[in-house]
């Protein structure tokens, strides 16, 4: 049985005839079926197959993430990227996380690095609520400042040494906002789902177009995971200006 363990919940993608048998997996107390992820707010469709409730606390990379798997998403495929980003910031940096969710990137960076401030913007009120709780759970509320709202309006401008764009969908539409958020010489981490044949070309071209006359220095190009047949989830690290 394929699935992923989130906290004490096993998340599967199909119905199970005897879900209680899956409790033999270490740490698993509940089983849920995950359907489609819907909309900009990234809300999953979930059916409880065994056990009560869908809220749990997941531990990863020495960080705690409280969440409700029926209301917010958790991608195991992004584990490597979350770990990579956790030690990326330099001491004293100001960071803006444009699509913060429950703190996927903000929390590990605050725990494992020494940024001055992380402005974590989230449009989904449910995810925002968990983001606030997770800053307290991880004792980083003095570093992470949650902001509820659309990053196009709510994110602070001309303040960031580093900007995270850890959402894939219409992410390219937010690149001009990211450029407004960055200081000159700041670094952007831009995520996109891209066909294999242009997996690094299109994202870089889009970053350069949004940067306008500002210089773009590509620092790193990385495949995070397969997204669909022939399509990859990639991230581009680039210094702007």
Mean pLDDT of 223-233: 95
Task: Check: CB of residue 109 under 8 Å from CB of residue 86.
Answer: yes
Report the DSSP beta bridge partners of residue 136.
none
What would the pLDDT profile of 143-173 be if each residue is shown by its tens digit? 999 999 999 999 999 999 999 999 998 999 9
Domain ranges of the chain: 4-76, 77-240
DSSP 93-144: -EEEETT-TTTTTHHHHHHHS--SEEEEEES-HHHHHHHHHHHHHTT-TTTE
Closest CA to 166 of 238, 98, 93: 98
pLDDT score at 46 = 82
173 labelled binding-site residue: no
> Is 193 marked within a binding site?
no
Least confident stretch, 45-59, 101-115, 200-214: 45-59
Distance CA 81, CA 223 (A): 10
Q: Give kind and range of the element (H or E) at residue 81.
A: helix 79-86
Rounded Cα distance, 129 and 67, in Å: 9
The hierarchical CATH code for the domain 4-76 is 3.30.300
pLDDT tens per residue, range 6-25: 999 999 988 788 888 888 88
217 by Cβ neighbours in 10 Å (0-12 / 13-18 / 19+) ranks as exposed
Distance of CA 144 to the CA centre of its chain: 15
Provide the pLDDT for residue 39.
Answer: 61
Is 75 annotated to bind a ligand? Reply is yes
Beta pairing partners, 143: none
Task: Return the CATH number of 77-240, one of 1.10.3720.10, 3.40.50.150, 3.20.20.450, 1.10.240.10.
Answer: 3.40.50.150
Q: What pLDDT score does 190 carry?
A: 98
Q: What is the pLDDT of residue 38?
A: 64
Query: How far is it, in rounded angstroms, from Cα 96 to Cα 150?
Result: 13
Each residue's pLDDT tens digit, 78-112: 999 999 999 999 999 999 999 999 999 999 999 99
């Amino acid at each position: 049985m394929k699935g992923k363990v989130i906290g004490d919940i096993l998340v599967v993608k199909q119905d199970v005839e005897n879900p209680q048998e899956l409790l033999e997996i270490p740490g698993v107390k509940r089983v849920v079926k995950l359907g489609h992820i819907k909309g900009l707010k990234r809300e999953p469709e979930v059916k409880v197959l065994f056990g009560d409730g869908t809220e749990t606390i997941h531990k990863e990379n020495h960080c705690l993430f409280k969440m409700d798997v029926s209301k917010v998403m958790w991608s195991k495929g992004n584990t490597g990227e979350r770990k990579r980003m956790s030690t990326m910031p330099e001491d004293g940096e100001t960071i803006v996380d444009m699509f913060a969710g429950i703190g996927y990137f903000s929390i590990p960076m605050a725990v494992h690095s020494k940024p001055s401030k992380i402005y974590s913007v989230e449009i989904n009120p449910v995810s925002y609520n968990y983001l606030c709780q997770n800053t307290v759970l991880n004792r980083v509320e003095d570093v992470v400042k949650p902001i509820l709202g659309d990053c196009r309006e709510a994110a602070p401008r001309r303040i960031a040494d580093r900007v995270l764009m850890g959402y894939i969908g219409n992410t390219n539409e937010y690149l001009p906002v990211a450029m407004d958020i960055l200081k000159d010489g700041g670094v952007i981490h831009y995520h996109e789902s891209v066909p294999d044949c242009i997996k690094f070309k299109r994202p870089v071209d889009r970053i350069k177009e949004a940067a306008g006359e500002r210089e773009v220095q590509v620092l790193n190009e990385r495949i995070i995971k397969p997204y669909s047949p022939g399509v990859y989830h990639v991230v581009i690290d680039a210094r702007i200006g």
